[in-house]
Chain A
Amino acid sequence: MNNLTLNVKILMLVIIGLLSLSTLIFFLIKKNNPSQNYTELWLRIRSWWVMIAILFLAISSSAKIAIVFFAFISFLALKEYLSLIPTRRSDRRVLFWAYLAIPIQYYLVSIHWYIMFLVFIPVYMFLLLPFRMVLIGDTKGFLHSLGTIYWGLMITVFALSHLAYLLVLDPLKNPYGGGAGLVLYLIFLTQFNDIAQYISGKLFGKHKIIPLVSPNKTVEGFIGGMIATVILTILISPYLTPLNFGQSILVGFIIAGFGFVGDVTISAIKRDFGVKDTSNFIPGHGGILDRLDSLTYTAPIFFHVLSYFYY
């Protein structure tokens, strides 16, 4: 726990407090309406506890362990993606190469090789995956296969690895939050935005925002969630990040906006394959990608905005 600043520890307590409060409310609702079935909601809350416990454990140990943890998350996400999409028999060895990108990408994080971290998947994997496919020689469906595998690699490994790189950014430039502070800040705001958009949509939702992809999402939900997220971002940024007031507003809009885009992009893929969830790995939530959808967009974009201003 020594690598965590006081502010990070306070945010962890706040998150545990919020979750305790939701658990308490859940039990009160259940007690007042015992006739209804609350299994799904209970599984959802229980899974939140488990995920938060694992995340807190990972970021409060050393940076190395946290990097291994995020590499494992990428592995689970890529595996889930590759199990969901149709792959060709002849692609097995190409998929193996895609998996190999995970340890390499996170190794680059751990040695702080910033430029290589940025270009390894967008340049080298981009050029080498088709080469591996050419060596196998199955040309039927070549481009389709290549496109789907590469997209998955970008989303589940490249995008998510930015979370891990936040951990190794120069801590002297962020004395109040440190690397763990930035990670927790981003994850907290992204998940908060998901929930705020959902609640705001339930309360005020009228006009569908993107009916062909996500029929339950509304303009009112999006805007209400965005306002709440921007306010929260302004409130907590001074304690966990080096961002000033104006930059905090920008980051708030970015997290709310791109969180939404990530969410509906994964929704579009699920719709494409006719599934409700990307898997049933997390009881009550669905798959890993169902939980990480917004984060796959907010992580790289927040990272680059932050590094533009400070690193």
Chain B
Amino acid sequence: MNDSVKVNYSYKINKVLRYIFFAIIVKPLMYIIIGLNIRNSHLRLNSGPAIIVANHNSHLDTLALMSIFPLTTIKNIHPVAASDYFLSNKLLAWFSQSIIGIIPLNRNLTTFNDPFADIVEALRQNKIIILFPEGSRGIPEKLDKFKTGIAHLAKRCPEVPIVPVFLHGFGKALPKGEALLVPFFCDIFLGEKIFWTGNKSSFMDKLEGSMLNLARAGNFTAWE
């Protein structure tokens, strides 16, 4: 990447197709085939800037998190997604950027470029960002250790609220490496918003603690 990193990614979005995709495919899939239990729905932030931080088990996670918002708000939501995966071929890149509206993130930080420039810019434009600090979907329905990139981002945007969200069940419905969707009711636990605390370790403790509390609230048995 070069100086053009300040590109506004919403320019790549096909707004009409995106609206139709969410209205006739994603929302019916989420609310009829799968079925969402949204817990603490009053904690949903309806306008940006905000960062939604969730655990990651399935490709359904992003679509589910976007589905909890009204169709008119979805245009302001941008999931951060690994460029090595989502931009790996032309069709997937088009779909990810034009329909889902992802902000690509380079997972291998080998350059001196600022990996968060696009995210910070989107937040400056009052967008809602979705971030999965586990880095990858990992083992379905198991919470992995969070990577600390989120702390760097929070430090740069201390005024932006961060909403922890715990997702349960999506890894059962569509785990990594499976193409067959099996319907399960899935749970979305919204947490209280948190802010940058002033240092990395206390921030990560707070975020992970909040996540564990949400996970415990469901009282779910492990998926073996």
Interface residues of A, Cβ cutoff 8 Å to B: 75-76, 79-80, 82-83, 86-89, 92-93, 95-96, 99, 274, 279-281
Contact = CB atoms under 8 A, between A and B. Distances in A.
Contacts of B37: 279-281
B122 to A, nearest CB: 34
Contacts of A96: 180, 182
B49 interface: no
Nearest to A98: B182
B26 to A, nearest CB: 18
A147 B6 CA distance: 58
A95 B182 contact: yes
A279 B221 CA distance: 15
List 8 tightest A-B contacts by C-beta distance, closest first. A83-B185, A83-B184, A92-B182, A79-B183, A96-B182, A95-B182, A86-B221, A279-B185
Contacts of B224: 88-89
Most interface-central of B172, B175, B185, B224 (chain A CB within 10 A): B185
A82 B184 contact: yes
Interface in B23-52: 35, 37
B140 interface: yes
Interface SS of B by simple majority = loop
Contacts of A93: 180, 182
Chain B interface size range? 10 to 19
17 contacts: A75-B183, A79-B183, A79-B185, A80-B185, A82-B184, A83-B169, A83-B184, A86-B221, A88-B223, A92-B172, A92-B180, A92-B182, A93-B182, A99-B183, A274-B219, A279-B185, A281-B185
Interface in B140-169: 140, 169
B178 interface: yes
Contacts of A80: 185
A212 to B, nearest CB: 22
Contacts of B182: 92-93, 95-96, 99
Nearest to A273: B221
A115 B182 CA distance: 29
Nearest to A82: B184
A220 B3 CA distance: 80
A79 B169 CA distance: 12
Nearest to A76: B35
Interface string B185-199: 100000000000000
A92 B184 CA distance: 10
A281 B184 contact: no
Contacts of A76: 35
Contacts of B169: 83
Contacts of A280: 37
A89 B35 contact: no
A96 B169 CA distance: 15
Most interface-central of B37, B182, B183 (chain A CB within 10 A): B182
Given A79-B185, A83-B169, A99-B183, 12 more contacts: A76-B35, A79-B184, A82-B184, A83-B35, A86-B223, A87-B172, A89-B175, A92-B172, A95-B182, A96-B180, A99-B182, A279-B37
Contacts of A89: 140, 175, 223-224
Contacts of B221: 86
A96 B173 CA distance: 10
B185 A92 contact: no
A96 B183 CA distance: 8
A22 to B, nearest CB: 27
Nearest to A83: B185
Contacts of B185: 79-80, 83, 279, 281
Given A86-B221, A89-B224, A279-B185, A79 B35 contact: yes
A81 to B, nearest CB: 10
A281 B169 CA distance: 16
A281 B34 CA distance: 12
Nearest to A141: B224
A281 B35 contact: yes
Contacts of A86: 221, 223
Nearest to A278: B185
A88 B175 CA distance: 13
Nearest to A95: B182
A83 to B, nearest CB: 4
Contacts of B219: 274
Interface in B95-145: 140
B57 to A, nearest CB: 12
